[in-house]
Chain A
Amino acid sequence: MSTRTARPARREDQAAITYREAVRESIREAMHRDERVFLMGEDVGAYGGCFAVSLGLLEEFGPERIRDTPLSESAFVGAGIGAALGGMRPIVEIMTVNFSLLALDQILNNAATLLHMSGGQLNIPLVIRMTTGAGRQLAAQHSHSLEGWYAHIPGLRILAPATLEDARGMLWPALEDPDPVLIFEHGSLYNTSGVLRPGPVGITRSALRRSGRDITLIAYGGTLHKAMKAAEELASGGVEADVIDLRVLRPLDDSLIVESVTRTHRAVIVDEGWRSGSLSAEVSARIVEHAFYELDAPVERVCTAEVPIPYARHLEEAALPQVPAIVAAARRVIAS
């Protein structure tokens, strides 16, 4: 395996930046480092990106490398596959995970499959970025968390950057990966900001974001920060939690999960996907398979209610995993 690491971020990144700017800087760096890299998607150019991620890049790199596409998800995702086969390193942006379903044929039947189906001849060095998740009152066709579905598919690498460092650092190793990588950016994270800690970022391992001894909280993407808040609240009551950021949803790195649960003997999984058949179900199964006798209590899951995401603010909030529900689940697990 290659090391899959990024160069340290540049000096000007020391100032506080947003998640959006971190992603933009990662694209800009990749475009400068490798002329085979180009960005393609709906409104990535003149509009500046649906979520303003690529704002200013058209002016910097021109329309050949910042390519506005028609509303043709299947065609431009498949064109990304073909361009990767033809020696380029495309970054394809899909506005939201809901829209990616229009390109699912290309992602599953071609990107994830061609290497194996061709007996190892055709690798696809393609990166697809898309927004995922709820929390912005965008209702049921712009808010779902379907990364768990994609994490079901062999042949893909699925990343969920939850921190500024991962937003800034995951793209380059993803472009170096010879296989297709999907990067899911939670829409609620774009405006979050902080000081970026420069350094290399890998795309194979989960990460421990907080250390505790009493319980393991497992989260990723948009739910990581909720899990961190829940851990703070638990700490004020004397309960210390490990918080694991999955980061890489496929191939899933369960070593840290198993190691942590072996220490804490208790686990709560937080997942913005629907509970049934979700990534949280997979994580739960891995714990049962690898650490069953270490458990002092049943694993709990805090997931999105099994409804299409509604528009009204109070309904949307009620549908999603929230800090109080995570704290309550953790306390039940501790008490049992």
Chain B
Amino acid sequence: MSEKRTSPHRETELLRQMLRIRRFEERCVELYSTEKIRGFMHLYIGEEAVAAGVCHVLTADDAVVSTYREHGHALARGLPMTEIMAEMYGRAAGCSRGRGGSMHIFDASRRFYGGNAVVGGGLPIAVGLALADRCQGRSRVTVCFFGEGAMAEGEFHECLNLASLWRLPVLFACENNRYAMGTALARSQAETDLALRAAAYDVVAWPVDGMDAAAVADAAARATESIRAGAGPHFLELRTYRFRAHSMYDPDRYRTKTEIEEWKHRDPVSSLAERMKAAGDLTDDDVRVMDKEITEEIDRAVAFAERAPLEPVEDLTRFVYSEVTS
């Protein structure tokens, strides 16, 4: 838990961002059940503190590489909710013009590089983005989100080694939600101290309470400052938990209700709200206003998606190759 409480404004923003993600996904569940949204959909509910905390410390020039559980990262990165929702609807106004869906949200203008649905597959891209910054003398950070399941992939080890070898400005943000789909960490990885494993590649690494947005933001700020100062890649193990199943198809048989309930006591949204109230930085009325504004934003996003046209079928094969004008 972070002890310093110096910026009520920052915490209000963190709370608002987490609540946006929470409410957005709750609406997505409803829309999924009415078949407005199809395909695989992976919910972030429970993990909001990670996206909110990390993205809070980034500048517009920094880059974000994400996974298939990326609604929270995209929202926290500032992608318009309208375009994200339209993408979930498979509409032309979606950020990926309906070609990506829930798992493939992209926004080049906000340096949000998706939306990678092969576990571990985003890490090399993050290393390359950081390499480009190095080659061009830019002081930018590339944040790479991935789950602890990715640490069993070869690409994780190749990329930690390469980024460290070349001292590249990458923040490896490992969201340890304890389960790779249905497989508990201890059942799939011999060493469960994740920061220790990252440190084996001479990368600065430490664990963080990923249920505490302020603690995440503090850690991310420290890490990105150090990266910008030239200290090479950093690794944060963000200890978190998803309250919902892996995807909409997951019957959630591999963990106990007791365990889920225990983690829900540490809900990142309500625990930050309670802490702020106790400090006198937030009232119930503030929460109601915030919730109302967010609901209105979601309503607008849904209305936008409902109205948005479909991409014409004649455009099916566009964007396989770049459209070059001579």
Contact = CB atoms under 8 A, between A and B. Distances in A.
A324 interface: no
A106 B116 CA distance: 11
A168 B113 CA distance: 34
B135 interface: yes
A157 B321 CA distance: 9
Contacts of B121: 78, 105-106, 109-110
Interface stretch (A69-77, A93-101, A159-167): A69-77
Contacts of A110: 116, 121, 124-125
Nearest to A121: B108
A88 B136 contact: yes
A119 B131 CA distance: 25
Interface in B115-133: 115-116, 118, 121, 123-133
Interface stretch (B156-164, B204-212, B275-283, B288-296): B156-164
B128 A80 contact: yes
Interface stretch (B96-104, B180-188, B214-222): B96-104
Given A70-B165, A119-B99, A178 B125 contact: no
Contacts of B115: 117-118
Contacts of A76: 124, 162
Given A70-B162, A83-B135, A119-B106, A77 B322 contact: no
A194 interface: no
Given A80-B128, A81-B128, A115 B321 contact: yes
A172 to B, nearest CB: 16
Contacts of B322: 115, 120, 123, 178-179
A74 B153 CA distance: 11
Contacts of B154: 74
A239 to B, nearest CB: 39
A81 B124 contact: yes
A272 B243 CA distance: 54
Contact of B96 (A64, A70, A121): A121
A155 B99 CA distance: 14
A114 B135 CA distance: 23
A336 interface: no
B94 interface: yes
A73 to B, nearest CB: 8
B142 to A, nearest CB: 8
Contact of A83 (B97, B129, B324): B129
B253 interface: no
A120 B125 contact: no
Contacts of A109: 118, 121
- Name, among B155, B318, B322, the residue most crowded by chain A CB atoms within 10 Å (CB to CB): B322
Interface in A11-38: 36, 38
A3 interface: yes
Interface footprint category on B:
35 or more
B114 interface: yes
A2 B104 contact: no
A119 B118 contact: no
Given A120-B323, A122-B113, A72 B161 contact: yes
Given A74-B124, A110-B125, A79 B131 contact: yes
Contacts of A83: 128-129, 131-132, 135
B321 A155 contact: yes
B131 A82 contact: yes
A119 B97 contact: yes
A109 B162 CA distance: 21
A105 B131 contact: no
Nearest to A92: B128
A85 interface: yes
A74 B116 CA distance: 15
A83 B133 CA distance: 8
Contacts of A114: 106, 114
Contacts of A81: 124-125, 128
B104 A117 contact: yes
A307 interface: no
A335 interface: no
A152 to B, nearest CB: 13
B324 A1 contact: yes
Nearest to B170: A82
Contacts of A86: 63, 128-133, 136
Interface string B309-326: 000000000111111101
Contacts of B47: none
A84 interface: yes
Contacts of A308: none
Given A70-B158, A82-B127, A85-B113, 20 more contacts: A1-B326, A38-B135, A75-B124, A75-B127, A78-B125, A79-B124, A82-B142, A86-B128, A86-B130, A86-B132, A88-B131, A88-B132, A105-B155, A110-B121, A117-B106, A117-B115, A119-B94, A119-B96, A120-B319, A121-B96
Interface of B: 63, 65, 94-100, 104, 106-108, 113-116, 118, 121, 123-133, 135-136, 142, 154-155, 158-159, 161-162, 165, 318-324, 326
Which 8 pairs across A and B sit closest by C-beta, in order of nearness? Answer: A82-B128, A78-B124, A86-B132, A119-B97, A75-B158, A72-B158, A79-B128, A118-B106
